[in-house]
């Protein structure tokens, strides 16, 4: 009988402990955020936009985020985005999504060291982000062919959350907790240069078919062209430039024939 009573008491204590933990543990504290660095493509010398997005991080209230890259392959371009103040001449290498980080947020981004960009954000609100999406976008210049496959990686710390319904601190506000996250790094691919070759046929200097260079076409030109086409006479370089009367790329008997018809009226 005593053992039975002891078992019931133990079960009740376990149940009460579990219920109390539900009230103390912040709701959503186990929810992990997914941070994704976009993968982009561009040619050498291009400036490409690399977005850094968050999903499932609706409880984020403050974070120090670091984006790292190889500075020998990529360079942050601090002339690409206009400054948010809109002042002429003020430019920067990143752009914040102000729809996500609204007026309740304070944020700052800067290139702390070569190959390292740091973005810090914090809100005075009791709850964190209201939605997911692109947090900020970085502008990178592709430096060389060696930039192909360059990795742009993400790390955060601290990465704090608050769902507004968790444990209440001494100040009367819900307490923050470390927000777990998973990062998906991005890559920059160098696109192949497409070269278009246009061949321009050299234009003859002078009147086409004017073999004696007297400025007019007559039977004498047709006779000279006939001799050059059948190999009976050697044409000069100037005459060869004017001898392709039908412009088919070769000098043959068709050229003097057409010229003869032209000057004779047949």
**In three state form, how does the secondary structure of the chain look?**
CHHHHHHHHHHHHHHHHHHHHHHHCCCCCCCCEEEEECCEEECCCCEEEEEEEEECCCCEEEEEEEEECCCCCEEECCCCEECCCCCCCCEECEEECCCCCCCCEEEEEEEEECCEEEEEEEECCCCCCCCCEEEEEEEEEECCHHHCCEEEEEEEEEEEECCCCCCECCCCCECCEECCEEEECEEEEECCCCCCCCCCCCCCCCCCCCCCCCCCCCHHHHHHHHHHHCCCCCCCHHHHHHHCCCCCCCCCCHHHHHHHHHHHCC
pLDDT tens across the length of the chain (266 residues): 444 433 433 443 333 333 333 223 333 444 678 899 999 999 999 999 999 999 876 678 888 999 999 999 999 998 898 765 555 555 789 999 988 888 888 989 999 899 999 999 988 776 677 678 999 999 999 999 999 999 999 998 888 877 666 666 666 666 677 888 899 999 999 987 666 666 565 566 678 888 888 888 888 888 888 888 888 888 888 888 888 887 777 888 888 888 888 888 76
pLDDT at res. 56: 75
Q: What is the dihedral of CA 238, 239, 242, 246, to 10 degrees?
A: -150
Report the pLDDT value the prediction gives residue 237, as an integer from 0 to 100. 83
> Residue 56 and residue 36: Cα distance in Å, rounded?
11
Contacts with 177 (C-beta within 8 Å, 6 or more apart), sequence order? 26, 29, 160, 161, 162, 166
pTM (two decimals):
0.60
In CATH, the architecture of 26-190 is Sandwich (2.60)
Question: Residues 133, 138, 139, 145: is their CA dihedral positive or negative?
Answer: negative
Residue spans per domain, the chain: 26-190, 219-264
Q: For position 24, what pLDDT does the model report?
A: 32
């Amino acid at each position: 009988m005593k053992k039975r009573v002891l078992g019931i008491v133990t079960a009740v204590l376990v149940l009460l402990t579990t219920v109390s933990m539900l009230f103390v543990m912040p709701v959503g504290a186990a929810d992990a955020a997914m941070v994704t660095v976009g993968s982009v493509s561009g040619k050498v010398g291009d400036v490409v936009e690399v977005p850094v997005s968050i999903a499932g991080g609706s409880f984020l209230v403050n974070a120090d985020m670091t984006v790292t890259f190889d500075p020998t392959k990529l360079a942050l371009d601090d002339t690409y985005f206009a400054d948010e103040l809109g002042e002429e001449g003020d430019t920067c290498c990143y752009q914040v999504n102000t729809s996500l980080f609204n007026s309740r947020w304070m944020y700052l981004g800067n290139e702390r060291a070569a190959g390292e960009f740091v973005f810090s954000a914090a809100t005075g609100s009791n709850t964190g982000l209201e939605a997911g999406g692109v947090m900020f976008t970085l502008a990178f210049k592709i430096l060389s062919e060696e930039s192909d496959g360059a990795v742009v990686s993400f790390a955060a710390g601290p990465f704090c959350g608050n769902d507004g319904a968790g444990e209440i601190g001494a100040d009367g506000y819900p307490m923050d907790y470390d927000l777990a996250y998973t990062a998906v790094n991005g890559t920059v691919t160098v696109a192949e240069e497409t070269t278009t070759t246009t061949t321009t046929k050299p234009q003859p200097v002078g009147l086409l078919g004017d073999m004696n260079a007297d400025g007019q076409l007559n039977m004498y030109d047709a006779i000279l062209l006939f001799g050059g086409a059948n190999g009976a006479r050697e044409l000069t370089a100037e005459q060869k430039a004017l001898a392709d009367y039908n412009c088919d790329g070769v000098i043959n008997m068709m050229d003097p024939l057409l010229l003869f018809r032209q000057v004779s009226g047949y």
